[in-house]
């Protein structure tokens, strides 16, 4: 099995594309959901965040106050780095757990929905393929203004706060252009899914695991056959 990192930008249509992949039966892991999960009360990252940043980052119910924490690390690289050293290892562990579950269920590839895939670059090394859901700047602006009821100035500010989609598209292995009719975008998703399904890149890992399991089974057989006393 191999991993496919999927990203986009605000109002590019990434969520709609993911829905199509899911309708096609693809396994999708939302890294943002995992990031929220690992900082829940009772998890190691939650305890370490409180130790590092104090109880002021907690809500009354014990959950992390994401706004307060965000304000604390805003424009403070050292604090941001500290938070990342706490959360990123836990996110990777949960990500691999989820991925292994899909591996056991026989999926050929797993899509990871990673909003900041190219910005942080932390997970790029794990991705066999990268996909960007792209749309041109004018389309992105118009969609964002309509969807969020924003004026042009506010919408442009939100778009400028992100890495431009054209830059992400240059770095990606595959680009799904969502600038036009949705039916055209959906067709692109279906074709990409077929291409990834036909790929044999999943075989080396699966064969390696099966070989390892066969080796363990052989050792267990020899142990029971020759070392344990006969009845």
**Tens-place pLDDT, residues 112-130:** 999 899 998 888 999 999 9
pTM recorded for the entire structure: 0.78
Among 50-64, 151-165, 208-222, the minimum mean pLDDT is found in 208-222
Render 192-214 in DSSP notation, one character per residue.
Answer: HHHHHHH--TTHHHHHHHHHHHH
**Tens-place pLDDT, residues 171-192:** 999 999 999 999 999 999 999 9
Q: Which residue would you say has higher pLDDT here, 123 or 21?
A: 21
Render 28-96 in DSSP notation, one character per residue.
Answer: EEEHHHHHHHTTSTTSHHHHHHHHHH-GGGB-TTS-B-HHHHHHHHTT-HHHHHHHHHHHHHHHHHHHH
pLDDT of residue 228: 54
């Amino acid at each position: 099995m191999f991993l496919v990192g999927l990203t986009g930008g605000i109002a590019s249509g990434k969520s709609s594309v993911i829905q199509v992949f899911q309708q096609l039966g693809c396994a999708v892991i939302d890294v943002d959901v995992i990031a929220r999960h690992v900082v829940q009360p009772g998890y190691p990252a939650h305890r370490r965040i409180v130790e590092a940043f104090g109880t002021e980052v907690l809500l009354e119910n014990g959950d992390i106050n994401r706004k307060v924490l965000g304000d604390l690390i805003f424009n403070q690289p050292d604090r941001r780095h500290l938070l990342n050293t706490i959360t990123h290892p836990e996110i990777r562990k949960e990500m691999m757990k989820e991925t292994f579950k899909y591996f056991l269920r026989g999926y050929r590839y797993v899509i990871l929905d990673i909003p900041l895939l190219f910005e942080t670059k932390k997970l790029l090394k794990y991705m066999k393929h990268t996909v960007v859901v792209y749309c041109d700047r004018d389309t992105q602006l118009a969609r964002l203004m309509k969807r969020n009821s924003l004026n042009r100035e506010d919408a442009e500010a939100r778009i400028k706060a992100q890495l431009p989609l054209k830059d992400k598209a240059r770095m990606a292995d595959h680009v799904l252009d969502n600038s036009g009719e949705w039916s055209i975008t959906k067709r692109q998703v279906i074709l990409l899914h077929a291409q990834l399904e036909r790929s044999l890149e999943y075989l080396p890992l699966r064969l390696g695991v099966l070989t390892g399991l066969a080796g363990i089974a052989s050792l267990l057989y020899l142990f029971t056959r020759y070392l344990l006393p006969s009845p």
